[in-house]
Amino acid sequence: MIGGLFIYNHKGEVLTSRVYRDDIGRNAVDAFRVNVIHARQQVRSPVTNIARTSFFHVKRSNIWLAVVTKQNVNAAMVFEFLYKMCDVMASYFGKISEENIKNNFVLIYELLDEILDFGYPQNSETGSLKTFITQQGIKGQHQTKEEQSQITSQVTGQIGWRREGIKYRRNELFLDVLESVNLLMSPQGQVLSAHVSGRVVMKSYLSGMPECKFGMNDKIIIDKAGKGGVTNEAGKSTSGKQSIAIDDCTFNQCVRLSKFDSERSISFIPPDGEYELMRYRTTKDIILPFRVIPLVREVGRTKLEVKVVIKSNFKPSLLAQKIEVRIPTPLNTSGVQVICMKGKAKYKASENAIVWKIKRMAGMKESQISAEIELLPTNDKKKWARPPISMNFEVPFAPSGLKVRYLKVFESKLNYSDHDVIKWVRYIGRSGIYETRC
Amino acid sequence: MTDSKYFTTTKKGEIFELKAELNSDKKEKKKEAVKKVIASMTVGKDVSALFPDVVNCMQTDNLELKKLVYLYLMNYAKSQPDMAIMAVNTFVKDCEDANPLIRALAVRTMGCIRVDKITEYLCEPLRKCLKDEDPYVRKTAAVCVAKLHDINAQLVEDQGFLDTLKDLISDSNPMVVANAVAALSEIAESHPNSNLLDLNPQSINKLLTALNECTEWGQIFILDCLANYTPRDDRESQSICERVTPRLSHANSAVVLSAVKVLMKFMEMLPKDLDYYSTLLKKLAPPLVTLLSAEPELQYVALRNINLIVQKRPEILKHEMKVFFVKYNDPIYVKLEKLDIMIRLASQANIAQVLAELKEYATEVDVDFVRKAVRAIGRCAIKVEQSAERCVSTLLDLIQTKVNYVVQEAIVVIKDIFRKYPNKYESVIATLCENLDSLDEPEARAAMIWIVGEYAERIDNADELLESFLEGFHDESTQVQLQLLTAIVKLFLKKPTETQELVQQVLSLATQDSDNPDLRDRGYIYWRLLSTDPVAAKEVVLAEKPLISEETDLIEPTLLEELICHIGTLASVYHKPPSAFVEGSRGVMHKRLPARTGSGESTESPDVGAAGGSAPEAAPSIIPSQGDLLGDLLNLDMAPPTTSGPPPPSTGMQMGGMDLLGGGLDSLLGGDIGGSPAMGAGFGAAPAVMPASLNAPVGGGLGDLFDLGGVGMPMGAYIPPKIVWLPAMKAKGLEISGTFARRAGVIQMELILTNKAMSVMTDFAIQFNRNSFGLAPAGPLQVLTPLGPNQTIEVSLPLSTVGPVMKMDPLNNLQVAVKNNIDVFYFSCQYPISMLFVEDGKMERQVFLATWKDIPNDNESQFQIKDCHLNSDAASSKLQGSNIFTIAKRTVEGQDMLYMSIKLSNGIWVLAELRVQAGNPNYTISLKCRAPEVSQCVFQCYEAVLKN
> In this predicted model, what pLDDT tens digit does every residue of B37-95 receive, in sequence order?
888 888 778 888 888 888 888 877 777 888 888 888 888 888 888 878 878 888 888 88
Least confident of A298-302, A319-323, B149-153: A298-302
B635 pLDDT above the threshold of 70? no
State residue A311's pLDDT score. 94
| Nearest neighbour of B857 by CB, restricted to A20, A27, A106 | A27
- Strand order of the β-sheet with A366-375 is A290-299, A303-312, A366-375, A333-340
Phi, psi of B569 (to 5 degrees): -95, 175
Do B67 and A113 count as a contact with CB atoms less than 8 A apart?
Answer: yes
- Find, among B743, B851, B748, B855, the residue nearest to B797 by Cα: B748
Quick one: average pLDDT of B925-940? 84
State residue A382's pLDDT score. 60
Q: Does A106 touch chain B (CB under 8 A)?
A: yes
B755 pLDDT above the threshold of 60? yes
Q: Does A258 touch chain B (CB under 8 A)?
A: yes
CATH number for A4-130 (one of 3.40.50.150, 3.30.450.60, 3.40.50.970, 3.40.50.720): it is 3.30.450.60
A276 contacts in B (CB within 8 Å)?
251
Beta-strand relationship, B792-800 and B746-755: antiparallel
Instruction: Give B582→chain A minimum CA distance, Å.
Output: 6
> In this predicted model, what pLDDT tens digit does every residue of B334-390 receive, in sequence order?
999 999 999 999 999 999 999 999 998 988 888 889 999 999 999 899 888 888 999
State residue A326's pLDDT score. 94
- Find, among B563, B525, B518, the residue nearest to B541 by Cα: B525
**CATH 2.60.40.1170 domain range(s) in chain A:** 172-224+243-286+399-436, 290-395
Do B42 and A151 count as a contact with CB atoms less than 8 A apart?
Answer: no
Q: What is the dihedral sign for C-alpha B9, B10, B14, B19?
A: positive
pLDDT band for A196, please (50, 70, 90 cuts): very high
**CATH 3.30.450.60 domain range(s) in chain A:** 4-130
CA-angle at B578, arms to B577 and B584, nearest 5°:
140
Distance separating alpha carbons of residues B816 and B808, to the nearest angstrom: 13
Q: Does A376 touch chain B (CB under 8 A)?
A: no
Instruction: Give A212→chain B minimum CA distance, Å.
Output: 18
B600 pLDDT above the threshold of 60? no
Q: Does A178 touch chain B (CB under 8 A)?
A: no
Q: Which residue has the higher pLDDT, B382 or A141?
A: B382
Do B68 and A184 count as a contact with CB atoms less than 8 A apart?
Answer: no
AA letter at B368: D
Which of A200-204, B231-235, B452-456, B805-809 has the largest mean confidence? Answer: A200-204
* Interfacial B residues in 552-571 facing A (CB < 8 Å): 566, 568-571
DSSP label at residue B840: T
ipTM of the complex: 0.81
Do A27 and B568 count as a contact with CB atoms less than 8 A apart?
Answer: no
- Which contacts (CB < 8 Å, 24+ apart) does range B848-856 have? B848/B887, B848/B888, B848/B899, B848/B901, B848/B911, B851/B909, B851/B911, B852/B899, B852/B911, B852/B928, B855/B911, B855/B928, B855/B929, B855/B930
| CATH number 2.60.40.1170 is the correct assignment for the domain at A172-224+243-286+399-436 | yes
Do A138 and B63 count as a contact with CB atoms less than 8 A apart?
Answer: yes
pLDDT band for A236, please (50, 70, 90 cuts): very low
Quick one: average pLDDT of A105-112? 90
Q: Which residue has the higher pLDDT, B737 or B549?
A: B737
A261 contacts in B (CB within 8 Å)?
245-246, 249
State residue A315's pLDDT score. 93
State residue A231's pLDDT score. 44
Instruction: Give B916→chain A minimum CA distance, Å.
Output: 14
AA letter at B557: P
- Find the residue in B nearest to A160 (Cα): B215
Quick one: average pLDDT of A193-222? 90
**Helical ranges in A205-299 per DSSP H:** 219-228, 231-239, 257-263
- The interaxial angle of helices B100-112 and B135-151, nearest 10 deg, is 10
Q: Does A41 touch chain B (CB under 8 A)?
A: no
Q: Which residue has the higher pLDDT, B665 or A40?
A: A40
Q: Which residue has the higher pLDDT, A108 or A158?
A: A108
Least confident of A77-86, A360-369, B585-594, B931-940: B585-594
Q: Does A153 touch chain B (CB under 8 A)?
A: yes
Q: Does A38 touch chain B (CB under 8 A)?
A: no
What percent of chain B stands above pLDDT 90? 24
Q: Is the separation of the CB atoms in B395 and B432 below 8 Å?
A: no
* Interfacial B residues in 313-332 facing A (CB < 8 Å): 322-323, 325, 327-329, 332
Do B862 and A51 count as a contact with CB atoms less than 8 A apart?
Answer: yes
Instruction: Give A224→chain B minimum CA distance, Å.
Output: 18
Distance separating alpha carbons of residues A4 and B708, to the nearest angstrom: 60
| Nearest neighbour of A72 by CB, restricted to B296, B357, B571 | B571
Q: Is the separation of the CB atoms in A325 and A293 below 8 Å?
A: no
* CA–CA distances in Å: residue A223 to residues A230, A231, A264, A285, B415: 11, 11, 12, 17, 55
* Average predicted confidence (pLDDT) for chain B: 80
| Nearest neighbour of B327 by CB, restricted to A45, A261, A433 | A433
- Which contacts (CB < 8 Å, 24+ apart) does range B188-191 have? B189/B585, B189/B586, B189/B587, B189/B589, B190/B149, B190/B153, B190/B585, B190/B586
pLDDT band for B637, please (50, 70, 90 cuts): very low
Element (H, E) at B484: helix B478-494
B582 contacts in A (CB within 8 Å)?
52, 70-72
* CA–CA distances in Å: residue B908 to residues B108, B749, B911: 47, 22, 10
- Find, among B249, B584, B216, B310, the residue nearest to A74 by Cα: B216
- Find, among A283, A322, A181, A123, the residue nearest to B175 by Cα: A123
Binding site of A, by residue number, is: 344, 346, 348, 357, 359
State the DSSP string of B325-393.
Answer: SPPTTS-HHHHHHHHHHHHHH--TTTHHHHHHHHHHHTTSS-HHHHHHHHHHHHHHHHH-GGGHHHHHH
B102 contacts in A (CB within 8 Å)?
140
Q: Does A155 touch chain B (CB under 8 A)?
A: yes
pTM of the model: 0.69
Largest Cα separation within chain A, whole Å, is 82
State residue B145's pLDDT score. 94
Instruction: Give B139→chain A minimum CA distance, Å.
Output: 8
Strands (E), B419-573: none
Q: Does A16 touch chain B (CB under 8 A)?
A: yes
pLDDT band for B253, please (50, 70, 90 cuts): very high
Do B258 and A76 count as a contact with CB atoms less than 8 A apart?
Answer: yes
State the DSSP string of A408-425.
Answer: EEE-SSSS--GGGSEEEE
Distance separating alpha carbons of residues A310 and A329, to the nearest angstrom: 18
Mutation for testing the B interface, residue in A248, A277, A326, A433 having most B CBs under 10 Å:
A248
Quick one: average pLDDT of A320-327? 95
Do A75 and B569 count as a contact with CB atoms less than 8 A apart?
Answer: yes
Contacts of B205 (CB under 8 A, 6+ apart): none
CATH number of this structure's domain A290-395? 2.60.40.1170
What percent of chain B stands above pLDDT 70? 84
A186 contacts in B (CB within 8 Å)?
356
